[in-house]
Structure 1
């Protein structure tokens, strides 16, 4: 997996492990850990957890779910990792 700029394992701006706006670990609107419309953890159309057809699907640069879960747990974000585990298991 790519660790450079824009990569899923990149911790800088735009990276999958970045916690700021536009990052995979961002919890605000449009972020990978956002549960609202357009977010990575949103299960409706346009969201990262949506499994149905979508003309404008969610695009992400976060690592694969299971890799992300492991990273989150190693970094003390167990509540988020458990939420993803539960969502992943039900999809």
Structure 2
């Protein structure tokens, strides 16, 4: 088994270049990185609470909350891909 974070499903090393690093399987994060992911989630949760409690129901509110989810996705991707 390869020790790289960037491996294909058959466990062979995969090039750390585009598009390779975006689409391959990643091993579970080490314990110290889990804290970074949790910090991202906590920050995004705080940002989602404001529009959720303040804005009226409707498409605009749904889009605003979707954008916070997108921020969480991309921030967690950055944590996972840059280590």
Task: Identify the structure with bigger relative contact order (alpha carbons < 8 Å, sequence gap 6+).
Answer: 2
**TM bracket (short chain):** under 0.3
Higher share in helix: 2
State the structure with more CA Rg. 2
Higher share in strand: 2
TM-score by length of 2: 0.27
